[in-house]
Amino acid sequence: MLNPRTSRTFSFQVKYPAPEIGSPVGFGLNLLIMLIIPAIDLRGGQCVRLRQGRAEEMTVFSDDPVATGLKWQAAGARWLHLVDLDGAFSGSPKNLEAIRKLRQALNIPIELGGGLRTLDTIKAYLDLGLDRLILGTVVLKDPDLAKRACAEFPGKIALGLDAKDGLLAVEGWTETSRKTALEVAQALEPFKPAALIYTDISRDGVKRGVNIGATRALAEAVEIPVIASGGVSTIADIEALLPLEAVGVVGVITGRALYDGSLDLAEAIKLAQKD
């Protein structure tokens, strides 16, 4: 039997791309599917990973974001998570050329965050063909703008809730606020953001395992689909997250583990598509 949360999750997941006939992501019933979403973080046009978001602890994994994106797409990814790190640190979009090229080269949907701080920028990136935009800093610093964006672009705005010791961080994670992910998510829930992307900063880029407890607590407290992020290291982390699909965790973002090979994307996708 489908429970309401599962069907909500399901309709969210099958929206893009149209499921192929015979695919395990077809309109069959009772499938529990979690999206495994590969991440590309851009700095100076290159694919990089930071440790716990610190700009000075950066590893360059590739100078060819399009090749990287095509690789994840070929491995079966159904979404790409893209972060304009220069944008997040500076407060306005950078890396436009790389983002444009990725959008042109890939046919899977792309979500983008980093430096999206005005309605005009949001509109410009949607016009570029990006499928979902992630708002971080403005959610805390200008919640009215975040609410307007959710209302004006239904289904297109995700909230990036990035927590350091339980409190949300903004401005490239260089500033910590006094608010928790839970209270901010509940305050914006009436404006129907498409998803909450919850990152435990202390785990991001250090492969310590996902913060299952905090991710579950957030998903249980709201009706908005939740995507977990930060800490994935091996297939065991994916396995540990799968039960959270029942409470509305619809996906997990992974970066460093894919780049260094400790997680195989195709294998993780296969595991997450089992019914």
Interface size with ligand AMZ, residues (CB under 6 A): 20
CB of 170 to ligand AMZ, least distance (A): 5
Among positions 10, 42, 53, 263, the unique one binding ligand AMZ when judged by CB under 6 A: 53
For ligand AMZ, the closer CB: 137 or 273: 137
Active site residue 86: no
Strands (E), 202-267: 226-229, 249-254
Residue 74 to residues 36, 71, 82, 225, Cα–Cα distance (Å):
13, 5, 17, 26
By CB under 6 A, is residue 88 in contact with ligand AMZ? yes
Q: What residues from 118 to 137 belong to the interface with ligand AMZ (CB under 6 A)?
A: 134-137
Residue 115 near residue 144, CB atoms below 8 Å: no
| Cβ neighbours of residue 211 closer than 8 Å, sequence gap 6 or more | 200, 203, 228, 230, 231
For ligand AMZ, the closer CB: 31 or 115: 115
Residue at token pair 């429970």: 3
β-bridge partners, 39: 81
Active site residue 131: no
CB of 77 to ligand AMZ, least distance (A): 17
For 86, the 3-state DSSP assignment is helix
Q: What residues from 212 to 271 belong to the interface with ligand AMZ (CB under 6 A)?
A: none
Amino acid at 48: V
β-bridge partners, 37: 253
Which of 256, 252, 263 has its CA nearest to residue 61? 256
Which of 86, 218, 213, 234 has its CA nearest to residue 159? 218
For ligand AMZ, the closer CB: 25 or 201: 201
Residue of 84, 86, 131, 162 marked active site: 162
CB of 83 to ligand AMZ, least distance (A): 5
Please choose, out of 79-87, 101-109, 147-155, 237-245, the segment that lies near ligand AMZ by the rule CB under 6 A.
79-87
Residue of 41, 84, 200, 204 marked active site: 41
Q: Which residues bind ligand AMZ (CB under 6 A)?
A: 50, 53, 83, 85, 87-88, 113-116, 134-137, 160, 162, 170, 172-173, 199
Q: Give me the active site residues, please.
A: 41, 162
